Amino acid sequence: MAVEEPTPMKTEDGWTSARAHGAARAAGTGRAARTLRVRVSAVLLAAVVLAVLLVPPLFPVDQQAVELTAKLRPPSWEHPFGTDSLGRDLLLRCVYGLRVSLLVGLVAALVATVLGTAVGAAAGALGGRADRLMMRLVDVFSAVPHLLLGIFIVAMFRPGVWPVVLSVGLTHWLSTARIVRAEVLSLRSRPYIDAAISGGASRTRVALRHLVPGVLPQAVLAAVLMVPHAIWHESALSFLGLGLPAHRASLGGLTEAARGSLLAGDWWPTLFPGLFIIIPTLAIAGLAGAWRERINPRRRSELML
């Protein structure tokens, strides 16, 4: 097998870019695909956010306006997504549903992250018996299926947005706590923590100046990745009829309500809410994934001489 001698692309004054002949795998391959993924995710997410923010004020149409003469119309110019079994415009219903879902997703992810980071950081920083106690607590919580626990929490309150937020938040902090604790433990054994202690830094100072900033990127990433999770969880609760009251649009509720018409061959009342769940969550996950690669220290140190 003869070695091919490709003529490398010369740039100005005789320099050749390492990329011209493949460069290193880490930096070279998959780059285009990654860029595309980030762009598509960003555009989709921007569209979703704009729709959610702008549609309600710009189109002051009552999304709950029932028009029984126009029920279950397929998509048309008048109703791009068609209408549901009560003749309500599905596009509007979806946008309002997504609004609720995003709100629930963001707030619940925030609750989960704050709780998880606090517990994880405390467990990691304190160590010993406190650590064991807290992590066993986490284990106990994890042993109960999320949805079951979520249903239990929702069932204790009247239907509404906040019980759902609480339900999602209280069931999703466990993984964040584990991630943060592991990160804190790994940071805690670094010589630079030893150096800080030796330099007279107090416990609080070590935690606030050295440990928490080190953990923050991971915690924020966990929070962002939690948003799609929370949206799905909310949808699942609503689908089971436990989420928001029936008159308020929610993506899970819409899908559930349309189950019957799907059997009758009317595809649009399930398809569009379904897409509204899937697309934003994929977009958020795509962006978070790209960001995770960026903060990966191995990639950052690629240029070390």
* Binding positions for another protein, rule: CB under 8 A: 1-8, 11, 14-19, 21-28, 31, 190-192, 194-203, 205-206, 209-210, 213-214, 300-305
Asked if 285 contacts 277 with a C-beta cutoff of 8 angstroms, the reply is: no
Q: Give least dist CB 304 to another protein, A.
A: 7
Q: Which is nearer to another protein, 24 or 61 (CB)?
A: 24
Q: Which is nearer to another protein, 15 or 77 (CB)?
A: 15
Neighbours of 270 (CB within 10 A): 18
Asked if 71 contacts 87 with a C-beta cutoff of 8 angstroms, the reply is: yes
Q: Which is nearer to another protein, 78 or 194 (CB)?
A: 194
The helix/strand/coil state of 267 is: coil
Calpha distance 186→165 (Å, rounded): 32
Q: Which is nearer to another protein, 199 or 265 (CB)?
A: 199
Q: Give least dist CB 92 to another protein, A.
A: 46
Q: Which residues contact 211 (CB under 8 A, 6 or more apart)?
A: 121, 124, 125, 184, 187, 188, 193
Calpha distance 127→228 (Å, rounded): 32
Q: Which is nearer to another protein, 16 or 296 (CB)?
A: 16
Six-digit token pair at 79?
Answer: 């109703």
Q: Give least dist CB 216 to another protein, A.
A: 10
C-alpha distances (whole Å) from 174 to each of 70, 158, 161, 185 are 47, 25, 22, 16
Q: Give least dist CB 33 to another protein, A.
A: 15
Q: Give least dist CB 132 to another protein, A.
A: 16
